[in-house]
Amino acid sequence: MLCRALLALASAVLAGASACSNARPVSSSASGSAAPDGRRLYAASCAACHGADLKGTPTGPPFLDAIYRSDHHADEAFLVAARSGVRPHHWNFGPMPPVSGLTDQQVAAIVAYVRSQQQAAGIR
Ligand code: HEC
């Protein structure tokens, strides 16, 4: 008898818990608490020159290149590049203009995405 009562109580609690989590907003990005999506930000802000596949375009170099390994271009280099642009020094694409409208957190998410793609390509 007690067992059945406990079971009923447990399932009531569980039902209550799932009702609560269902009640949360589907997307919390409006509140700014969602982690930035590096892949999406990269596609929107960087892919035009560095390539949707990170293999470069006629206007920018590939990130899947040993030159952009983290020991040669640390994560800060990405922040500086986005903030201030880049003077041409490794390639002949010309300068990279500053990319406006990205927070440090968003650039960090882009870097994490680039690093994951580099790792997948065997560039570490
Ligand atoms: C309009 C084209 C363009 C866009 C858009 C662009 N880049 Fe670049 N980027 C370049 C070019 C060209 C270079 C190569 C400069 C050189 O010769 O070393 C470069 C170089 C870089 C470098 C290397 C910097 C260094 O110190 O050597 C980083 C890091 C970088 N870009 C990050 C980004 C990120 C992150 C984004 C998106 C937020 C982005 N770029 C968007 C054109 C672009």
Is the model's pLDDT at 12 over the cut of 80?
no
The CATH homologous superfamily to which domain 36-124 belongs is: Cytochrome c-like domain (1.10.760.10)
Global confidence as pTM: 0.79
pLDDT, tens digit (0-9, with 9 covering 90-100), for 92-122: 999 999 999 999 999 999 999 999 999 999 9
pLDDT, tens digit (0-9, with 9 covering 90-100), for 31-85: 455 789 999 999 999 999 999 999 999 999 999 999 999 999 999 999 999 999 9
pLDDT given for residue 18 in this prediction: 43
> Domain map of the chain by residue range?
36-124
Q: Nearest Cα to 27, choosing from 35, 19, 16?
A: 35
At residue 95, what is the residue type? Answer: P
Q: Nearest Cα to 117, choosing from 71, 68, 64, 73?
A: 64
The pair of structure tokens assigned to 107 is 């650039």
CA of residue 117 to ligand 1 center, whole Å: 16
- What residues are in contact with ligand 1 under a 6 Å CB criterion? 45-46, 48-50, 59-61, 73, 77-78, 81-82, 86, 88-91, 93-94, 96-97, 99, 102, 110
Query: Measured between alpha carbons, how far is 36 from 41 in angstroms, rounded to an integer?
Result: 8
Query: Measured between alpha carbons, how far is 39 from 49 in angstroms, rounded to an integer?
Result: 15
